[in-house]
């Protein structure tokens, strides 16, 4: 997918009228496809649609994550974007204290979209954030 997908996106972007270029940039900052797999899991993720909705609507979500040793942790998250890494989905989110975090969507057991909206950080670049985060993750 890599080079071919990027070429297709470039063709689509250059074909957009200038008045629509902000739409293309907005989409790129909400969904990023990273074709390099860490694992080959093909789990069904019913929670993915709720997270996708929260991403598009800039709304806080209350998510229950399953941590190590089967510990359940509930977090309010400002979901900035979804990343498909191979066949696995990841959610990039900001916590109430302002820290950016990443979790595998498969570790999310439940999500409730809250009425409260959030403002995205000006100039946030999902691809750039993901690339730096993934590199640091791989090195650790």
- Per-residue pLDDT reduced to its tens digit, 102-136: 999 999 999 999 999 999 999 999 999 999 999 99
Q: What is the pTM of this model?
A: 0.71
Q: 3-state secondary structure string, 72-130?
A: EEEEEEEEEEEEEECCEEEEEEECCCCCEEEEEHHHEEEEEEEEEECCCCCCCCHHHHH
When comparing pLDDT for 76 and 21, which is higher?
A: 76
32-48 residue pLDDT tens? 777 666 665 555 577 99
Number of domains in the chain: 1
Residue 71 belongs to domain spanning: 2-139
| Residues forming beta bridges with residue 57, ordered by sequence position | none
When comparing pLDDT for 11 and 121, which is higher?
A: 121
Interatomic CA distance for residues 80 and 133, integer angstroms: 14
Interatomic CA distance for residues 62 and 67, integer angstroms: 16
pLDDT over 90 (residue 87): no
> Could you tell me the CATH number of the domain that includes residue 113?
2.30.30.520
């Amino acid at each position: 997918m890599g080079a071919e997908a990027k070429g297709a996106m470039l063709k689509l972007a250059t074909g957009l009228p200038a008045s629509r270029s902000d739409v293309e940039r907005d989409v790129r900052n909400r969904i990023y496809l990273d074709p390099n797999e860490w694992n080959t899991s093909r789990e069904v993720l019913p929670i993915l649609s709720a997270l996708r909705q929260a991403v598009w609507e800039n709304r806080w979500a209350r998510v229950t994550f399953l941590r190590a040793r089967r510990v359940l942790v509930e977090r309010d998250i400002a979901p900035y974007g979804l990343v498909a890494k191979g066949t696995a989905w990841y959610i990039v989110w900001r916590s109430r204290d302002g820290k950016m975090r990443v979790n595998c969507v498969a570790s999310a057991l439940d999500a409730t979209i809250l009425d409260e909206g959030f403002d995205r950080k000006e100039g946030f670049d999902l691809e750039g954030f993901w690339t730096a985060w993934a590199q640091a993750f791989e090195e650790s």
